Amino acid sequence: MALHFAKRITEYKLAKELFTRGKDIILSPEAQVMKTFIQHGETTVFEHCVSVAKFSLLIACFLEKTLKIEFDKDSLVRGALLHDYFLYDWHIKDSSRRFHGFTHPGVARANAERDFCLNDIEKDIIAKHMFPLTPFLPMHRESYIVSIADKWCALAEIFKIDVSSYLIYRINFRIALINGDYSIDYGETSVEV
Ligand SMILES: [Fe+2]
Ligand SMILES: [Fe+2]
């Protein structure tokens, strides 16, 4: 019980940090489109990207504490949130997407550059996240972290291991709050939160 409570608090704090660092992307209508596509199992592309951002942040915090390696955490989160911004259903058979595994990082980067203002680290994270499947070496340490977090999240989603549902709930709750889609019903009066 105590462990469960501690885990919830950690997830709550992580959701808060992730939301603060990636707010402009998370709240954009463009990124919300990722909710309409499935990535693995029953996980949407948006949920997958949020989960990858969470584990990227966790790994970076761990390495900062233990090895004193510094990371650009804003770019880390923003790049992770957009790393699969390819905006199509890769499960639908289409000859132009036959090599989705190899080509989608390039598509995601082009889409992300079109819709958002990105720095070099964020572009590198998106373009190289499938390394070593794609042969180009990541140029920034943040890209390696997202690539590792991506593989872990993909495995968890394929094998239906719940690793991020509470954090994803917290992110969606914050989106709803800001968009005014959440209200508490006190009976006769409804108070907007
Ligand atoms: Fe990907
Ligand atoms: Fe991914």
Q: Residue 55 Cα, ligand 1 centroid: separation in angstroms?
A: 15
Q: Residue 13 Cα, ligand 1 centroid: separation in angstroms?
A: 26
Q: Residue 2 Cα, ligand 2 centroid: separation in angstroms?
A: 32
Residue 188: pLDDT above 80? no
Is the pTM higher than 0.85?
A: yes
Which pLDDT does position 186 carry in this prediction?
Answer: 61
Residue 189: pLDDT above 60? no
Closest CA to 122 of 53, 171, 68: 53
Q: Which ligand is nearest to the CA of 52?
A: 2
Which pLDDT does position 156 carry in this prediction?
Answer: 97
Backbone angles phi, psi at 131, to 5 degrees: -50, 135
Which pLDDT does position 173 carry in this prediction?
Answer: 95
What average pLDDT does this structure show over 149-154?
A: 98
Q: Residue 84 Cα, ligand 1 centroid: separation in angstroms?
A: 5
Name the least confident of 20-34, 93-107, 138-152: 93-107
Which pLDDT does position 184 carry in this prediction?
Answer: 60
Assign domain 2-192 one CATH number from 1.10.8, 3.40.1440, 1.10.3210, 2.60.120: 1.10.3210
Q: Residue 48 Cα, ligand 2 centroid: separation in angstroms?
A: 7
CB 174 within 8 A of CB 19: yes
Q: Residue 83 Cα, ligand 2 centroid: separation in angstroms?
A: 6
Q: Mean pLDDT for the chain?
A: 93
Q: Which ligand is nearest to the CA of 49?
A: 2
pLDDT tens digits, residue range 84-137? 999 999 999 888 888 999 999 999 999 999 999 999 999 999 999 999 998 889
Closest CA to 31 of 82, 77, 67, 97: 82
Q: Residue 178 Cα, ligand 2 centroid: separation in angstroms?
A: 27
pLDDT tens digits, residue range 152-179? 999 999 999 999 999 999 999 999 999 9
Q: Residue 87 Cα, ligand 2 centroid: separation in angstroms?
A: 12
Closest CA to 60 of 74, 47, 70: 70
> What are 190's strand-pairing partners?
185
Which pLDDT does position 183 carry in this prediction?
Answer: 67
DSSP assignment of the chain: -HHHHHHHHHHHHHHHHHHHHHHHHHTSHHHHGGGGSEEETTEEHHHHHHHHHHHHHHHHHHHHHHH-----HHHHHHHHHHTTTT-S-TTS--GGGTTHHHHHHHHHHHHHHHHS---HHHHHHHHHTTTTSS-SPPSSHHHHHHHHHHHHHHHHHHTT--SSHHHHHHHHHHHHHHHT--EEE-SSSEEE-
Q: Which ligand is nearest to the CA of 133?
A: 1
Which pLDDT does position 129 carry in this prediction?
Answer: 98
Which pLDDT does position 193 carry in this prediction?
Answer: 47
